[in-house]
């Protein structure tokens, strides 16, 4: 199995997670704009990259 370096999470998402305190913990249910859009875009970008790798491997006969 090949090691795949993952992208870093969007900065806005990191900042949002760091807002955690005793009264509030970040959860997917609380994720809103703009962080939600940033995470979505980051995941789509990563998926496109992996699909290109698979396509390349397929057509080169790996």
pLDDT in tens, 42-57: 888 888 877 777 777 7
Most distant CA pair in the chain, distance: 54
pLDDT reported for residue 44 = 85
Going by C-beta distance under 8 Å and a sequence separation of 6 or more, which residues neighbour residue 35? 10, 12, 13, 16
Distance of CA 43 to the CA centre of its chain: 4
Q: How far apart are CA 44 and CA 28, in angstroms?
A: 17
Question: What's 34's DSSP letter?
Answer: T
Q: What pTM did the predictor assign? A: 0.67
């Amino acid at each position: 199995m090949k090691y795949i370096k993952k992208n870093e999470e969007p900065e806005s998402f990191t900042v949002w997670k760091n807002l955690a305190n005793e009264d509030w913990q970040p959860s997917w249910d609380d994720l809103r704009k703009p962080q939600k859009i940033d995470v979505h875009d980051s995941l789509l970008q990563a998926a496109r990259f992996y699909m290109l790798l698979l396509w390349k491997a397929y057509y080169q006969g790996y």
